[in-house]
């Protein structure tokens, strides 16, 4: 059954050279209306003064259901974006939603070349959507597809939908074993009880130390 009240968390992954797409008059601003539909966007601009930014980002990566990945060459060249964010999304099973902003070597990155992305083919947002009307139409497509994905995630079991711990946690088998005791320990125990410990030791097959 679909949980319509379940908040779907979207981590916006981007290069700071492309920060303009987070502005209210650009892509993220166009998507903000989805927050009324229980879709929450997170960017590193929300990190508070004094917080350990690396720890906060990694925690948000683990918490994300969807990664909205804004791809440019500067993003692909960023070690942090690739080694921490993308690897983190792949490890936590977040749903990757790539958008190609500008011309870049996306074919050299298997995580990207093996996935469907927008706008699609060799098109990029900056080169092929220069007209304001065309760009808004692309933003609308992104918005609609994010909504569709969020609805699919709500219908899926929590363990399969990128929850706070995307990989279902399992209780590890107990490694605790019943302690074993040496012959002297057992004999001391028998003596303390006042039993005929030699006869009992013989029955249990314990050597007389």
Domain extent listing, the chain: 8-160, 178-209
Determine the pLDDT at residue 156. Answer: 82
- Residue 205 pLDDT class (50, 70, 90 cuts): low
Q: Regarding the domain with residue range 8-160, which homologous superfamily does it belong to in the CATH classification? A: Toll/interleukin-1 receptor homology (TIR) domain (3.40.50.10140)
Q: Is 66 helix (H, G, I), strand (E, B) or coil?
A: strand
Give me the phi and psi of 19, to 5 degrees please: -65, -20
Torsional class of 50: left (φ above 0), alpha (ψ -120 to 50), beta (otherwise): left
Q: How many CB atoms lie within 10 A of CB 186?
A: 17
End-to-end Cα separation, the chain, in angstroms:
67
pLDDT tens, residue by residue, 154-194? 998 765 554 433 323 333 333 344 444 445 555 454 455 45
Give the CA distances from residue 138 to residues 13, 38, 97, 100, 132, in Å, rounded to whole numbers and listed in that order. Answer: 19, 22, 14, 11, 10
pTM, two decimal places: 0.74
């Amino acid at each position: 059954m679909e949980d319509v009240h379940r908040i779907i968390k979207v981590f916006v992954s981007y290069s700071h050279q492309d920060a303009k797409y987070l502005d209210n008059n650009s892509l993220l601003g166009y998507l903000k209306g989805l927050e009324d539909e229980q879709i929450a966007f997170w960017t590193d601009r929300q990190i508070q003064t004094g917080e350990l930014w690396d720890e906060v980002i990694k925690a948000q990566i683990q918490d994300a259901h969807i990664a909205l990945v804004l791809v440019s060459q500067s993003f692909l060249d960023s070690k942090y974006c690739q080694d921490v964010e993308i690897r983190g999304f792949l490890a936590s099973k977040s749903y990757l939603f790539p958008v190609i902003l500008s011309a870049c070597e996306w074919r050299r990155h298997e995580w990207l070349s093996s996935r469907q992305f927008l706008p699609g083919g060799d098109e990029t947002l900056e080169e092929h959507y220069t007209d304001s009307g065309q760009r808004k139409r692309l933003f609308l497509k992104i918005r609609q597809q994010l909504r569709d994905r969020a609805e699919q995630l709500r219908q899926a079991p929590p363990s399969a939908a990128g929850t706070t711990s995307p990989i279902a946690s399992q209780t590890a088998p107990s490694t605790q074993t019943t302690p074993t005791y040496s012959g002297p320990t057992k004999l001391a125990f028998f003596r303390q009880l006042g039993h005929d410990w030699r006869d009992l030791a013989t029955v249990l097959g314990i050597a007389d130390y």
